[in-house]
Structure 1
Amino acid sequence: MPTITSYPGVYVEEIPSSARTINTVTTSVTAFVGHTKRGPLNTPVRITSFADFERKFGGLATRSAVGYAVHQFFANGGRVAVIVRAAKKGSGESARVVLDADDDREDCPVLAVHAKEPGAWGNGLHVAIDHDTSCPEETFNLRVSDSKGGAHETFTGLSLEPDHGRNAETVINGAASLIRVEILDEGRPAASGTVSRRFDGELPDLAVELTAEIGDVQREFTLYEESSDGAPPCTVTELALLLERKLRALPDAPGKRSFAGVEVIPFGDRLQIIAGSTDPAEKVCFSGECAGDLGLDETVNAPVFPLHGGADGKPPGPRDLIGDPANKTGLQALRDVHDVNLLALPELADYESAEDVVSVVSAADRLCREQRIFQLVDSPSSWGGVDAVRSGIAAFEPVRSDHAGMFFPHLQLPDPLTGRLRPFPPCGAVAGVIARTDGERGVWKAPAGTEAKVLGVRSLSVELTDRDNGLLNPLGVNCLRTFPMVGPLVWGSRTLAGSDSADSEWKYLPVRRLALHVEESLRRGLQWVVFEPNNDQLWQQIRLNVSGYLDPLFRKGAFQGSTPREAYFVKCDGETTGPEDVARGVVNVVVGIAPVKPAEFVLVTIQQMTGQPEV
């Protein structure tokens, strides 16, 4: 904005810089696709720890190779992962329960409660309804608890009326992580637990003997004693507090919290008593001569409502993993996710058919090329030795991609669920090693060598010698080795296109990943160029911005050469963008980099010196 001068003097004006910063993108965010215990189907979820995975996907499960791979990823230095839960099409059911109305209508369902995601985990959910709201005759509260996971959610002041501000579907489905609901009819769901009759007018005499029964356990107690309870209750709320305290003080059956966890909730002029047990069959019943005076003898008994019918989905087959691009299922769910750099499919290692494995790897490779992702391919678990690898690698000829790397053999480590030693595919641990190497050294450093230790591993399923390594390395198979005093580590860093016979310029994994990193950073960092005037000034700004991005990488050691001129070049001028390009709205930027290749073979020549003259 031009400065308006109105008086003689000095004016100061700030002018924004024309230089724009190109930020570097992530390098080691790993996507895992496959079967999990729970979690949203075909929906990418970003997590930053294994605790996140346990909370959102149920943790480890014997049938879930993904769970173990994620555990090893974070144990070896991984920081961010994206999980896509996949299941065999048509398998898996969500647990549910249907709640009836609290009026005189018989068998009138008004609200269906479903587990948020399919799976048997939903059978551990319990729903409790109470009417302790500001409008106890019209609205209700809903509480859901996970008896296995320990999670709880509460939603208050709900209504089934479509135009109500606290409509149950709108409130719960938009905020709950455990359930979703469906309104079936008008009305209101009946309260769970034990609901008393109305207390009209003043409270009756409370210095009475009562018998409370939960399940097959009966306990007698005195409701009110002036010597120990102080002033008598005057309101329904005070009565609820007294009754809850008395019930919680009663001894429980061994190993139970039926009495210790009792809740007494006042709503309007009634009481609702809920047993502390998660067993839906256990409810609080009262008896005694004075139970009728307190409105507790003819109570309405409705247990805590358990969800049921949940069933785990079957592990995905090849078609389920590949997914449908139109519906964004399986691998295709990653198409809308930014900042994914590595892809792991640990379930492929146990596929019996090599044709199925190749079909999934091929589909994943197409996605990786489009999204600039590098795929970590596990060697099949049936490869029990070097000869099996040499004969089986021929099946992977159609997918010898420079966007993928294969790792052999599998890892031997204790199963956290059983404590027994068992083999696991290495992709999760290798992804963690790559993330650790990127953080400590950079994406241009090969994630292999004595620094690339695989943590938590007891041994390898196949112990390889130097000779074995020499047979597999030229085939483009990255070996995991065990060395004395060091332990298991990654001892190879080639792409699947890195076999000696292929003679690919993308032979090495760090060279390929560095190029992907530079490409994606420049693609995002040059978005501002679109619709700018295509002239010399724009070309100069582009050269300045791109050079400003590449120079720090050079100084960190990402490129060869002792000077920037030897390490990279940026060309954007009248030679790269001619008049015809300008007429078509095209600007061409040519960027060249000289990546540092790993020192794969170190030759040491020793010469013996003899016959030196004395000084």
Structure 2
Amino acid sequence: MPTHTAYPGVYVEELPSSIRSITTVTTSVTAFVGHTRRGPLNHPVRITSFADFERRFGGLTSRSPVAYAVHQFFGNGGTVAVIVRVARAGTGKEAQVTLESTEGHSECPVLEVHAKEPGIWGDGLRVAVDHDTPCPDETFDLQVLDAHGSARESFSGLSMDPGDGRYAETVINAGSALIRVAVVGEGRPDPSGTVSKAFHRELPDLNVELTVKIGEVEREFTLYDPDCDGPAPCDVTELALLLEHKLRSLPDAPGKHAFAGTQVTAFGRRIQVVAGSTDPDDVVRFLGECANDLGLEASVNPPVFALCGGEDGDPPGPRDIIGSEARKSGLQALRDVPDVNLLALPELASYESTDDIVTVLSAAERLCTERRMFLLADAPAAWGSVDAARAGIGAFDPVRGNHSALYFPHLQLTDPLTGRLRSFPPCGAIAGVIARTDGERGVWKAPAGTEARLAGVHALTVKLTDRENGLLNPLGINCLRTFPMVGPLVWGARTLAGADALDSEWKYVPVRRLALHVEESLLRGLQWVVFEPNNEQLWQQIRLNASAYLHSLFEKGAFKGGTPRQAYFVKCDKDTTTEADIENGIVNVVVGIAPVKPAEFVIVKIQQLAGQFDL
């Protein structure tokens, strides 16, 4: 605020800077679109490690080229990925189980539990229910377990009343990453395991012989022996502790944990007995007249309710990968995702029809052009030789855009699932190399050369010679090579528009990607210009801010030229913005850059000297 001058002297006033800094955007966030074991369909999910991928999408599976591509991406230096799971339309089914209630003295379904996402992964989920809440006659707890009995999620104090703040459908559907539920009836779901009738305040005679059966194993024991068990239980909680101790001391069947892991919980005036097993057949049953007198068979259920019926969706076809812009499915799900720079479609390499590949690549190229992304295309798996590549590249003429690059041949790596060598499309590893190069050198450095080593790669499906490389490079095919002492690496950095015959100004990958990086950074960094007065003062600020940003790139080596004047320029004045533009609310900014092109051909001339020289 302005300084109020009240006396003679020196005043200090801090003024805000007129420079609005333009922040550089990301360069190597890679989107993978295709089939995975699990995960939300057509919903982009950002991950930062392969462990994230395993937790969210189920890890490696032989049916998922995306899973292997993501594994290779992080193995080669990738840091951030966006995954879009796609399945063939009309396939895939969620695992589910319906919980019933007997509180109305007749069994009726009350709560449907579904796996959050389609797939057989949901068959490994288990649900446990208890009424051990502060209001045991009205609310319930629900736990989600895995097949080994480990707790994954827990929800307490749930209500079946839609007007309650802990309404089960609202709380679980909003908070669970594993399941969703639907209330389909009145009443609460029955608890897991065996639940007794309500005991009176004075407990009955507990010095009785009981027979318990879990699964196929039957055991007998004395519930309370005054000579061995000390003072008799005084309330339901002490009775639950005694019964749990007795059951856990009974011998189990070989390899089982049903008796040893038994849990007995007291809630209200009742007790709940659950076998220490996730096998739905391990139901706890108390047999005989004494058990009936104690009310130990009021409700008998499995120890857990197992979800079942999940089905994996079939691998997606070309239409599924392309998706629908209206439904935001497939590739179109990436339209609303910021900071995606690279796109990988490892599913395409296995397509038998080149027409299908070209159809998907055409849609992907359009998306990349609109969203300023760069597409990493794999050579078809059918290209098993240099001649096949030379014969097949003509089919890619309709998609020879400058927002994509094609890599050949495929990689041979050890499959972590089988321990055997297997061929994989290279796009995941290439994306990792690009991310590593961007981090170490910058987006203007060609992701190729001896620094662009392919980690974990044993060999390539086609071993190329210099002569064969020389046949493919002019066609715009980026070759992967193996060199002594270095190993497999990337040995090409041309866009699909970079064939010699096309003579494109966007011939090289780093030039195209640097321009995209500058465009996106300026687009975001100049948002403040909107609605500002369109005059010389605004133009001066634009020139200052844009020049400061470009100069930072110049100092890092992004542009060629010995001086800033030779490396870049920013023009925004009355020559670029006319009176007519001002009347229409338009300001025009012209930016020019001189990117460093890669040195593809290094010629070393050696001259033989005649005569001898004295040292």
What TM-score comes out, normalization by structure 2 length? 0.97
Deviation at 1:205, TM superposition (A): 4.1
The amino acid that maps onto 1:3 is: T
Q: Does 1:201 find its partner at 2:236?
A: no
The amino acid that maps onto 2:435 is: A
Size of the alignment, in residue pairs? 615
Q: What is the rounded CA distance, in whole Å, between the counterparts of 1:527 and 1:229 in structure 2? A: 78
Which residue number in structure 1 is paired with residue 541 of structure 2?
541
Which residue number in structure 2 is paired with residue 186 of structure 1?
186
Q: Does 1:501 find its partner at 2:501?
A: yes
Q: What is the rounded CA distance, in whole Å, between the counterparts of 1:14 and 1:246 in structure 2? A: 78
Q: Does 1:411 find its partner at 2:417?
A: no
Q: What is the rounded CA distance, in whole Å, between the counterparts of 1:569 and 1:393 in structure 2? A: 38
Which residue number in structure 2 is paired with residue 17 of structure 1?
17
Which residue number in structure 1 is paired with residue 98 of structure 2?
98
* Cα deviations by residue, 1:328-375 (Å, 9 ceiling, x for unpaired): 000000000000000000000000100000000000011000110000
Q: Please tell me whether the aligned partners of residues 143 and 151 of structure 2 are also in contact (alpha carbons under 8 angstroms).
A: no
Q: What is the rounded CA distance, in whole Å, between the counterparts of 1:452 and 1:150 in structure 2? A: 43
**Unmatched runs of 5 consecutive residues or more in structure 1:** none
The amino acid that maps onto 1:137 is: D
Q: 1:199–1:545: structure 2 CA closer, same or farther, 3 Å change rule?
A: same
Q: What is the rounded CA distance, in whole Å, between the counterparts of 1:55 and 1:35 in structure 2? A: 16
* Cα deviations by residue, 1:128-186 (Å, 9 ceiling, x for unpaired): 11111111111111111121795611111111111111111110010101100111122
Which residue number in structure 2 is paired with residue 435 of structure 1?
435
Deviation at 1:287, TM superposition (A): 3.4
Deviation at 1:259, TM superposition (A): 2.2
Which residue number in structure 1 is paired with residue 80 of structure 2?
80
Task: Name which of structure 1's ranges 372-381 and 300-309 shifts more when overlaid on structure 2.
Answer: 300-309
Q: 1:454–1:226: structure 2 CA closer, same or farther, 3 Å change rule?
A: farther
Q: 1:294–1:464: structure 2 CA closer, same or farther, 3 Å change rule?
A: same
Q: 1:299–1:187: structure 2 CA closer, same or farther, 3 Å change rule?
A: closer
Which residue number in structure 2 is paired with residue 296 of structure 1?
296
Deviation at 1:190, TM superposition (A): 1.3
Which residue number in structure 2 is paired with residue 576 of structure 1?
576
Residue identity (%)? 71
* Cα deviations by residue, 1:450-471 (Å, 9 ceiling, x for unpaired): 1111001111111111111111
Q: Please tell me whether the aligned partners of residues 102 and 190 of structure 1 are also in contact (alpha carbons under 8 angstroms).
A: yes
Q: What is the rounded CA distance, in whole Å, between the counterparts of 1:260 and 1:464 in structure 2? A: 63
Which residue number in structure 2 is paired with residue 360 of structure 1?
360
Query: SS state of the match for residue 291, structure 1?
Result: helix
Query: SS state of the match for residue 291, structure 2?
Result: coil
Deviation at 1:303, TM superposition (A): 4.8
Q: Please tell me whether the aligned partners of residues 192 and 274 of structure 1 are also in contact (alpha carbons under 8 angstroms).
A: yes
* Cα deviations by residue, 1:565-603 (Å, 9 ceiling, x for unpaired): 111111111111111111111111111000001111111
Deviation at 1:218, TM superposition (A): 2.5
Q: 1:250–1:149: structure 2 CA closer, same or farther, 3 Å change rule?
A: closer
The amino acid that maps onto 2:264 is: V
Q: Please tell me whether the aligned partners of residues 448 and 491 of structure 1 are also in contact (alpha carbons under 8 angstroms).
A: yes
* Cα deviations by residue, 1:372-413 (Å, 9 ceiling, x for unpaired): 000000000000000000000000000001100000110101
Query: SS state of the match for residue 481, structure 2?
Result: strand
Deviation at 1:268, TM superposition (A): 0.9
Q: Please tell me whether the aligned partners of residues 102 and 191 of structure 1 are also in contact (alpha carbons under 8 angstroms).
A: no
For residues 63-78 of structure 1, the aligned pairs below 5 Å read 63-78=63-78
For residues 223-372 of structure 1, the aligned pairs below 5 Å read 223-224=223-224, 231-287=231-287, 290-296=290-296, 299-372=299-372
Deviation at 1:299, TM superposition (A): 4.7
The amino acid that maps onto 2:558 is: A
Q: Please tell me whether the aligned partners of residues 43 and 84 of structure 1 are also in contact (alpha carbons under 8 angstroms).
A: yes
Q: What is the rounded CA distance, in whole Å, between the counterparts of 2:231 and 2:601 in structure 1? A: 89
Q: What is the rounded CA distance, in whole Å, between the counterparts of 1:149 and 1:216 in structure 2? A: 20
**Unmatched runs of 5 consecutive residues or more in structure 2:** none
Query: SS state of the match for residue 611, structure 1?
Result: coil
For residues 393-412 of structure 1, the aligned pairs below 5 Å read 393-412=393-412
Q: Does 1:449 find its partner at 2:452?
A: no
* Cα deviations by residue, 1:224-256 (Å, 9 ceiling, x for unpaired): 466775554322223223333333343332332
Deviation at 1:5, TM superposition (A): 4.4
Query: SS state of the match for residue 599, structure 2?
Result: coil
Which residue number in structure 2 is paired with residue 138 of structure 1?
138
What TM-score comes out, normalization by structure 1 length? 0.97
Q: Please tell me whether the aligned partners of residues 400 and 496 of structure 2 are also in contact (alpha carbons under 8 angstroms).
A: yes
Q: What is the rounded CA distance, in whole Å, between the counterparts of 1:336 and 1:386 in structure 2? A: 39
Task: Name which of structure 1's ranges 419-428 and 8-17 shifts more when overlaid on structure 2.
Answer: 8-17
Q: What is the rounded CA distance, in whole Å, between the counterparts of 1:149 and 1:529 in structure 2? A: 58
Q: Please tell me whether the aligned partners of residues 93 and 309 of structure 1 are also in contact (alpha carbons under 8 angstroms).
A: yes
* Cα deviations by residue, 1:101-144 (Å, 9 ceiling, x for unpaired): 23235342111111100111111111111111111111111111
Query: SS state of the match for residue 352, structure 2?
Result: coil
